[in-house]
Structure 1
Amino acid sequence: MHPKTYTRALALGLALVVSAPGAGFAQDATTAEQTVDAMNKLWGRHPGLRANHAKGVVLQGSFTPTPEAAKLSKASLFAGPAVTVTVRFSDGTGLPTIADGAKEARPHGFSAKFKLADGGEVDMVLNSLPHFPVATGEEFRDLLVAISQSGPDVPSPKPVETFRASHPAVAAAVGALTTPESFARQAYNGVNAFVFVDAAGKRQAFRWRVEPVAGIATLNAEEAGKRPANFLQEEIVARVAKEPVAFRFLAQLAEPGDPTHDATKPWPKERRMVEMGTLTLTQAVPDSASAEKALLFLPNALTDGIEVSDDPLIDARVQAYAVSFGRRQ
């Protein structure tokens, strides 16, 4: 997405008003505004920081595509040569001082901004969830509201227990989460479906999967609890100072009948995986805090050859990120 289009998308996300129900919300608030308000209620407001995934660290590197990538998509990202990439790793929640090893710090996030030769940008917003816990922005807002209403003094069934009972994908998604030994030893998933378009106009739905070249390594709860509060942040900075950190970018290709509109439904594991390229991180950004404040990653910041699918969560995420960005500025 070129800068002018990128700015227009942000403005639309901030300005669009859609009435939606919600406990304790202004009637004219958008679902995105209600979602960010619910996050602020859960974790507090922290000026200059994101409403969710507030704690993070920024690194830089490059992305080199494979020959197979250009066969699936006409995007210049896959035509070569290598392009510059900015990556932000993050902890979950809006708490900027959360311990990296805390259970609540999961899922961990991986956001990447690819700088194209023509001045455009492509964003990818991934996390360690195997799939998303809910299918729509309204359901995500309702989940956050249910959590905020389920304090220790609230009798059972708490609102969050009732919500989970009617949304089984929540337990399936969060139950699979782990704490990594390093951000460089974690796999990340693009829970939303997107669409490749090749030079002949053929369309192929896919989901991203990013795997560490160093292999996946996790910590159990006891081990994670003993680590310093900032161990993931500090370890990745120290690691990249010694040697490059590499990730394989894989595209899981949908087959006819695989749902693209519902992020709670993962596709069968036997679906074909195509290696699209390698991202290599070579340095940490000197002033990560300043870089984080300026960065905005939007799932629909794409380029010709990559398109959004019919997944409603993509637009919901874009609008919520835009609201959060506007408030932290």
Structure 2
Amino acid sequence: MSLFRYTRAGQGPQSPRTHSPLPWIALIALILGVVALAFAWLAGWIGRDRLTAQRFTDTIEATGPAHPGFRRAHSKGVCVSGWFEPSAQAPTLSSARVFSQARVPVMGRLSIGGGDPYGADNTARVRSIAVQMVSDDGQEWRMAMNSFPFFAVPTAEAFYEQTRAQIPDPATGKPDPQKMAAVLAKYPSAQAFQQWAKSAPWTSSWANTTFNSVNSFWFTNAQGQKRAVRWRWQPQAPVVEMDADARKQADVDFLSQELQQRLTSGPVRWNLVVSQAAPGDAIDDPSVPWPESRDQVVAGVLSLDRMQSQEEGACGQLNFDPLIVPSGVRGSDDPILAARSAVYSQSFNRRERERASGNVEQPKEAAQ
């Protein structure tokens, strides 16, 4: 409601009627109070039992030794760079500029799961890729994708329970197996994830690993058609599996060593394969995979031709928030997607403060 009453077009404003200011003062006070409460709630100042990004990040940190200056999860990785070229079919999916620009520069990161920046590649079951694409109109698309095809649990609260179960018992120095067993008993998807971890092939390289969005998003094309999608980076390199003996003999840094050697022969490439939801598919639950029979479109090709350490490369300074998306792409209402975004931000802010204060763990070689 305006403080001025407008007459018909072209006649300009009339003088306002005289009213008591008390209702407006009360309304303004109410709005300010709601805003203050919202900020307090988001910051975790009220509702101490509420799950916040701060509590979640604290719990992640409690699962292992502190490594100041590093990411709280997927701590070990390398920076990569290259480009993305969309397919002719890509613009039918989304109006995002990256799907119509001939070539889009890419900066990214390849990593393994876990919070140890010196973890062993040959024992890491989860591998990840994160990319940042910046189109010529300045819009960004950041992706954070994993080698597992579905999430172990359906909600942010369940994810928090799972993370808490991984905190070591002070008496043994290891997680309490009964707590993890309780999570498995409560969530059938956690059992399915455990089965995936036991049975899925171990590939010999980041370059022949498939990476999945896991969470769902919405694409809208130039005609206004909207569809729920998930996507994956599907490797063009032939899949080579590693058996238990090969993994045992592999170097703890074999993934970065292998990629560096592979890049001497040219770029490594993945196809961007977009799957479209059918009626009844779970859009807001990442623990439910979609059938392989869903309509799929190859939306382009990612080419990476350069690798650097995360200390030297630009990827170390970037938060790969999966909800930073361009026009034509929107996140779903998946609560885990929102939780990932919030925790990534919290983790990024913490490590930036550590770096600014000089509280950064030095690489092992430098510390010796």
Contact 2:212 2:232 in 1 (8 A): yes
Q: What code does the residue aligned with 1:161 have?
A: A
Q: Distance in 1 between matches of 2:53 and 2:346?
A: 7
1:291: how far off?
2.6
Partner of 1:309: 332
Quick check: 1:41 aligned with 2:59?
no
1:134: how far off?
1.1
Contact 1:188 1:210 in 2 (8 A): yes
* Aligned residues between the structures: 311
Matches within 5 A, 1:1-329: 16-18=42-44, 27=48, 30-102=51-123, 105-148=124-167, 153=172, 158-177=178-197, 178-285=201-308, 288-329=311-352
Output the TM-score relative to the length of structure 2: 0.79
1:113: how far off?
0.5
Q: Distance in 2 between matches of 1:152 and 1:158?
A: 14
1:247: how far off?
0.4
Partner of 1:3: none
Q: Distance in 1 between matches of 2:166 and 2:176?
A: 13
1:289: how far off?
4.5
Q: Distance in 2 between matches of 1:36 and 1:14?
A: 18
Higher relative contact order (CA 8 A, sep 6+): 1
Q: Distance in 2 between matches of 1:205 and 1:266?
A: 13
SS in 2 for 1:235: helix
Q: What code does the residue aligned with 2:59 have?
A: A
Contact 1:109 1:126 in 2 (8 A): yes
1:162 to 1:151, Cα distance in 2 relative to 1, 3 A:
farther
Partner of 1:4: none
Partner of 1:6: none
In our comparison, the structure showing a higher alpha carbon Rg is 2
Q: Distance in 1 between matches of 2:46 and 2:283?
A: 24
Output the TM-score relative to the length of structure 1: 0.88
* Deviations 1:273-324 (CA, angstroms, capped at 9, x unpaired): 1100000111113665553430210111101111111211111000000011
Q: Distance in 2 between matches of 1:82 and 1:14?
A: 44
Q: Distance in 1 between matches of 2:120 and 2:54?
A: 27
Contact 1:126 1:189 in 2 (8 A): yes
Contact 1:132 1:173 in 2 (8 A): yes
Moved >3 Å (runs of 4+): 12-15, 18-21, 149-157, 285-290
Contact 2:78 2:310 in 1 (8 A): no
Q: Distance in 1 between matches of 2:347 and 2:276?
A: 32
| 179-188 vs 283-292, which moves further | 283-292
1:146: how far off?
1.2
| 287-296 vs 187-196, which moves further | 287-296
Q: Distance in 2 between matches of 1:156 and 1:234?
A: 35
Query: Structure 2: which 5+ runs fail to align?
Result: 1-37, 353-368
* Deviations 1:228-247 (CA, angstroms, capped at 9, x unpaired): 01000121122113211000
SS in 2 for 1:206: strand
Query: Structure 1: which 5+ runs fail to align?
Result: 1-11, 22-26
Contact 1:123 1:299 in 2 (8 A): yes
**Over aligned residue pairs, what C-alpha RMSD do you find?**
2.5
Contact 1:195 1:308 in 2 (8 A): yes
Q: Distance in 1 between matches of 2:263 and 2:46?
A: 45
Q: Distance in 1 between matches of 2:299 and 2:116?
A: 34
Q: What code does the residue aligned with 1:165 have?
A: A
1:157: how far off?
6.4
1:17 to 1:93, Cα distance in 2 relative to 1, 3 A:
same
Partner of 2:14: none
Contact 2:203 2:240 in 1 (8 A): yes
1:274 to 1:288, Cα distance in 2 relative to 1, 3 A:
farther
Contact 1:58 1:284 in 2 (8 A): yes
Q: Distance in 1 between matches of 2:126 and 2:39?
A: 25
Q: What code does the residue aligned with 1:17 have?
A: A
Q: What code does the residue aligned with 1:148 have?
A: I
1:267 to 1:239, Cα distance in 2 relative to 1, 3 A:
same
